[in-house]
Amino acid sequence: MIQFERTLEIDATPEAVWAVLGRYMHIDEFAPLVKSVDALTNGEDGVGSKRRCHFDNGTSVVEEVTAWVPNRKCRVKLSDMEAMPLNEAHAELVVEPVGQGKSKVKWGMEYRVKFGPLGWLLGQTLMKMMMGKILDGNLNGLASKVQSAPA
């Protein structure tokens, strides 16, 4: 599996960050490339919650929560990735306090690319560049959303 991670420090408490992240079915409120979300499960957000994220380019992906620790961590398994050259993928968000009223958010990806050694090379180069831009956009969108939320 190839692992990749981006981090951003946000001027907000972990609870304030989680107030946005914990609305699992609403990632489209801050992730720039997510056009809309279909909730595939009902009830409280947590382990087992599933959503389908629709992207601006017409593709979509299903994400299912596999770990959920309020104010701290969310891990999801991606599936139905027909437009992506991936056999397997997981994303993890970790929120850590880093001083008075600040948080560090880590958004990591772990994935296995199709096409053997050529796919591995693609995953280490072009996919990391592409995912870096996506994760940076998501983190900056999250920071903007958190900092614009009413206190």
CATH number at residue 65: 3.30.530.20
Task: Please give the average per-residue pLDDT across 98-124, as a whole number.
Answer: 91
pLDDT at residue number 92: 98
How many helices (H) and strands (E) in the chain? Answer: 3, 7
Domain span at residue 89?
2-148
> 3 to each of 89, 100, 119, how far by Cα in Å?
10, 30, 14
Residue 83 has pLDDT above 80, yes or no: no
- pTM given for the model: 0.92
Q: What is the mean pLDDT of the chain?
A: 94
Q: Is the pLDDT of residue 31 over 90?
A: yes
Q: What does the alpha-carbon distance between residue 74 and residue 113 come to, in Å, rounded to a whole number?
A: 23
- Burial class of residue 126 in the structure, from the number of CB atoms within 10 Å of its CB (0-12 exposed, 13-18 middle, 19+ buried): exposed
The total number of structural domains in the chain stands at: 1
Interval 16-41 mean pLDDT: 96
Q: Is the pLDDT of residue 30 over 80?
A: yes
